[in-house]
Structure 1
Amino acid sequence: MPHAEPTEQDAPRFTTPAGEIIGWRDRGVIRATGIRYARAKRFCAPEDEPPATVPIHATEWSPALPQNTIPELDAALGVTPKEAAYCEGELHLSVTVPDSPATKPRPVMVWIHGGSYVFGAADLAVFDVRPLALEQDVIVVAVSYRLGLLGFLGGYANRPANLGLLDMVSALRWVNTNIAAMGGDPANVTLFGHSAGGDAVAHLMIAEGTQGLFRRAIIQSAPLGISRRRAKMNAKMGQKAAALKDDAPLSQVLRTQVKVEKAAQGFGLRSTMPFGIQYGHYPLPAEHDVDAAWRHVATNFDVFIGTTAEETALFLVMSPNLMRLRQLPLVGEPACRAMVAATTRRVYQRDALRFARRHARAGGNAYVYRLHWGKGRYPFGAAHTIDLPLLLGEPESWQYADLIKHVDETTLLEHGQRLRGLWTEFARSGQLPASGQVEPQILQWWKAD
């Protein structure tokens, strides 16, 4: 992604309640990047950033929050190590606005990145929201939040849980307060998130303090099938983390996180994503109340939820042992296909359908989708994250990604534009035809009942 180098004189400016924001122009959009929305002491709730008394120079990409690298995922997505620039103690977001006149406030889409609550950042090149904003005439906000041990484990040693989720709530408050001054409609805000980000979006619907901050939720490939019955695993993880001092060097925190992850082993599929939201800790209800909470808010939100056809194929490819199994003559490929189908249903598809049906039966508006793009293409197929190259980034952003190796640029652009159109159609009104499909064999959707 190009770096911002605007001159002070011609730089775009927004006069907002947060202060005067100075952005930069980038190929048809205005960027306001790396805006600090909150500060956060380690193991403490975020504190909203007060209004600035001097101009905010929003011309640098949002830094990532501290995290360990995952080489296999970097290779699949084409993320390069040089993109990593970590910042602890500050929380940032970036806003992308079409650089063209508007006759009315634009819909706002807030992107919550995924990465198993341990990986990712708002401004990774593969998550670039420029095509979405430019093509579809919407404002897109990308949010960074705390990860791993610093953001998603609590309830031990007097350390609060769900800090990363509280970061997102703080970011939504910033959007609600400031987006009108940037041309957006604060009454038409859609959250869209992938994987852990989709899981977060679903739980922000029932989090305290989010009432009135967003109207629609697009929940992509959320691992809802492993979001419950995690208390024992979290307790064991907390025991391993308790010896870590609040002021330990960051390098020690990240090393401890690895040990904490290993402590989660033995809890089945849940241990594949050990960090996550924790029920019964602010701002979430107790686990036995969560279904009632979602039913209670159903009429407040339009929901578009779905999965890919072969979610867990990504993790099969990332595992050398499973790839060796896959290569066994005659039995390897069928065995792996059966395993992918079973785990995709268990972790993703089954609970996505349950979520949509519960929402609809409680009076809410819900649609379900299934993404087939890439199915049959070795080795990933229609795997977890295959929707991301269609929705975000540009062909050059994905040039190093194993995920879409050998997909030609024209196909990626054409199919991506169709999917982005569907996403923004839902974001504008919360409505889609009762059923339909994006051709050729990209995605199908239907209304939940």
Structure 2
Amino acid sequence: MDHDDEQLASPEKTADAGFQRAPADAPTVDVETPNGTVRGSIEGALRRFRGVRYATAARFEPPVAAAPWEGVQEALGDGPMCPQPRFGMTMLALPKRIPPMAEDCFFLNITGPAEPSESPRPVMVWVHGGAYVNGSGSGEIYDPSRIVTDGDVIVVGINYRLGVFGFLPIDGVAPANLGVLDQLAALDWVKQNIASFGGDPGNITLFGQSAGADSIAHLLAVTEADHLYHRVILQSAPLGLSVGREALAAELSANFLAKLGDDLRTAAVLPMLHAQVAATTGLSGDFLTRGMPYAPTPGVWPVPPSAEWHALLERRAGQIDALIGSNRDEFSVFIDSVPALRRAQTARLSRPFTRPLTYALTRRAFTAPALRLARLLERSGATVFTYRVDWRPAGTPWGACHCIELPFFWADEQFWRGSPMLGDTDWSDLDRFGRVLRRTWAGFARTGRAPEISNPNFSLARLGPGLR
């Protein structure tokens, strides 16, 4: 058994070493929802509901909303995440426990303050990143304790199908955008049920990073999502990785079928994951798009054709507020995956020669398309704020790289201790500024407004006519 197989051993388990559960001695709390009673936990100053089912679906079938139930449904442990290969960005954090995986991954987590509020709290729905092949809306990395506490908000993390299970278009078998349908189903569940948990269904903000932010950009153009959210926060959306997406999707599917050599309706999970990875080699087309081959396919419901995207965004813009930004050195970690460039980047003498390439690719993949989206929304009536992270931790070659902002919002010092991308950073310094950002994000979710911030590490400002 190789390491990938070990990572997916017993994916049907509901609990193992990587499974987040409420402490055994935590008091429980029951909430009445339109579907039935849900039992969560009180953990210090937080109320948590883990592993709440929002839908069901068979392989390659659209999601169906979770049915009502009798009795009490326990929500004391995370639901499994979609089956996925080993996570490749080792600079993010030291190796962590691996959560359970299963194709039945239609679960979400709800975290809010334990103290009741006189009025419903703003709701922030987290759409996780991971290049559409990795990640989960729960687990250790996305513990929302700090943003919930500092921002006095309710945070919902959603799981959705990934890779070949959610984004593989095969005519007559696998619709291209099942993962997007899962996101819609989760958002619909939140809209219908979040009031039972103290959240305001009339004030829902979608926020996501990397592929999660890319997902939100797609949802902006999906008319079926219009009533499900009111504000958006896009962190490091790789919007420049969409050139020739339709042709790439067809080639990727052909590669996958050739590599699998089995009936994909009945194939076991592990062979499908191995074929998923193998199918990405030898792809043609734009080299940046090939870097994220599994993604929403334009022109397949509910994602509109690329030619209609701008008009649909203009239609939606007047009803939303948006906060959009990126990091100064996004592409440095991806350059690091090329051996020759990695050696140049880590060597003191040659490092300056890799920085122009980092800037150019960062601009093409992240910065320029994000600014184009921000300006389009602003011109069409949205209130738009833009930000940039310039913070470069001492002791790393990557600078303000992709994912560098995650420790400001998620998990705790124990999780991030030893993170290669954080270098020699003192946690108290990081968390002090993180508190500013957490309150800024939560304040935007509450009011649609954000304060202007300008310092050597971070800048944020409202986009207006003078900044076009």
Common fold, TM-score beyond 0.5?
A: yes
* Alignment partners' CA distance in 2, 1:158 and 1:267: 27
Whether 2:341 is the aligned partner of 1:322: answer yes
- What is the CA-CA distance between 1:124 and the residue it aligns to? 2.5
Aligned partner of 2:46 among 29, 47, 50: 29
Structure 2 counterpart of 1:446: 462
Task: Measure, in 2, the Cα distance between the counterparts of 1:321 and 1:107.
Answer: 47
User: Given that residues 298 and 363 in structure 1 are in contact (C-alpha distance below 8 angstroms), is that contact kept between their aligned partners in structure 2?
Assistant: yes
Q: Would the aligned equivalents of 2:60 and 2:173 in 1 still touch at CA under 8 Å?
A: no
Count of aligned pairs: 443
TM-score (norm. length: structure 2)? 0.90
In the alignment, which of 423, 427, 431 is matched to residue 413 of structure 1?
431
> What is the match of residue 293 of structure 1?
312
How far did 1:445 drift? 2.9
State the 1:425 CA deviation: 1.2
Alignment of 1:81-160 (within 5 A): 82-160=97-175
Q: Contact 2:81–2:159 at 8 Å: present in 1 too?
A: yes
- Asked whether the equivalents of residues 415 and 442 of structure 1 are also in contact (C-alpha less than 8 Å), the reply is no
Q: 1:119 to 1:153 in 2, by over 3 A?
A: same
Structure 2 partner of 1:346: 364
Shift of the 62–439 alpha-carbon distance from structure 1 to 2, 3 Å rule, reads farther
What is the Cα deviation at residue 407 of structure 1? Answer: 1.3
Residue by residue over 1:72-91, the C-alpha shift from the partner in whole angstroms, topping out at 9 and shown as x without a partner, is 414523341x3231011241
Confirm or deny: 8 A CA contact 2:238 2:365 kept in the other structure.
yes
Any unmatched runs of 5+ in structure 2?
A: 1-18
Contact 2:395 2:423 in 1 (8 A): no
The one-letter amino acid of 2:309's match is V
- Alignment partner of 1:73 is 2:92: no
Runs of 4+ residues deviating >6 angstroms = none
Partner amino acid for 1:281? V
2:36 to 3, 19, 22: 19
The alpha-carbon deviation at position 252 of structure 1 amounts to 1.0
Is the 1:92–1:143 Cα contact (8 Å) retained in structure 2?
yes
1:225 aligns to 2:229 (yes or no)? no
Give the equivalent residue in structure 2 for 1:46. Answer: 63
Equivalent residues of 2:404, 2:421 under 8 A apart: yes
Structure 1, unmatched stretches of 5+, are none
For residues 91 and 329 of structure 2, the distance between their equivalents in structure 1, rounded to whole angstroms, comes to: 19
AA aligned opposite 1:374: R
On the 8 A contact 2:80/2:100 being kept in 1, the answer is: yes
Q: Does the Cα contact within 8 Å between 2:324 and 2:370 map onto a contact in 1?
A: yes
- Secondary structure of the residue aligned to 2:281 is helix
> Residues 265, 129 of structure 1: CA spacing in aligned structure 2 closer, same or farther, 3 A cutoff?
farther
State the 1:441 CA deviation: 2.3
Give me the whole-angstrom Cα distance separating, in 2, the residues matched to 1:263 and 1:89.
31
Question: Does the Cα contact within 8 Å between 2:80 and 2:104 map onto a contact in 1?
Answer: no
- Distance in 1 (CA, whole Å) between partners of 2:250 and 2:326 is 30
| Aligned residues of 1:75 and 1:400 also touching (Cα < 8 A) | no
Determine helix, strand or coil for the equivalent of 1:176. Answer: helix
**Counterpart of 1:390?**
408
Q: Aligned with 1:73: secondary structure?
A: coil
1:358-412 CA-partner distances (Å, limit 9, x unpaired) = 1111111111111112266521210000010001111112124212132112112
Equivalent residue number for residue 256 of structure 1: 275
Tell me how far apart the structure 2 counterparts of residues 313 and 448 of structure 1 sit (CA, whole Å).
30
Give, in whole Å, the separation in 2 of the partners of 1:112 and 1:363: 25
More off after superposition, 260-269 vs 302-311: 260-269
The one-letter code sitting in structure 2 at the alignment partner of 1:179 is I
Distance 2:454 2:55 in 1: 39
Which amino acid in structure 2 is aligned with residue 289 of structure 1? E
- The secondary structure found in structure 2 opposite 1:142 is strand
User: Contact 2:408 / 2:435 at 8 angstroms: preserved in 1?
Assistant: yes
Would you say the 8 A contact 1:73–1:318 is kept in 2? no
**Contact 1:373 1:443 (C-alpha < 8 Å) held by counterparts:** no
Q: Residues of 2 paired with 1:329 and 1:58: CA distance?
A: 51
- Tell me the distance in 2 between the aligned counterparts of 1:163 and 1:32: 25
CA contact (8 A) 2:322 2:383 kept: yes
CA drift at 1:56: 1.1
Of 12, 23, 31, which aligns to 1:5?
A: 23
The percentage of aligned residue pairs carrying the same residue is 34
Q: 1:329/1:144 Cα in 2 relative to 1: closer, same or farther (>3 Å)?
A: closer
Q: Which residue of 1 aligns with 2:185?
A: 170
1:268-326 deviations in Å (ceiling 9; x for gaps): 11111111111100101111111111111111211110100110112233443321133
1:336 counterpart residue number: 354
- The reply on whether 1:213 has 2:228 as its aligned counterpart is yes
Distance 1:328 1:160 in 2: 46
For residue 321 of structure 2, the aligned residue among 291, 302, 326 is 302
**Are the structure 2 counterparts of residues 231 and 100 from structure 1 closer, same or farther at C-alpha, using a change threshold of 3 Å?**
same
2:447 alignment partner in structure 1: 429
2:28 is aligned with what amino acid?
A
Give the residue type in structure 1 aligned to 2:400.
A
Partner amino acid, structure 1, of 2:93? L
| Distance across 2 between alignment mates of 1:407 and 1:318 | 23
CA RMSD in angstroms comes to 1.9
**Partner AA of 2:74 in structure 1:** H
Cα contact 1:118–1:148 (8 A) shared by 2: yes
Is residue 2:75 matched to residue 1:58? yes
Query: How far apart, CA to CA, are the structure 2 residues paired with 1:249 and 1:55?
Result: 33
- What is aligned with 2:3? none
How many angstroms does 1:17 deviate by?
A: 1.0
Q: Secondary structure of the equivalent of 2:294?
A: coil
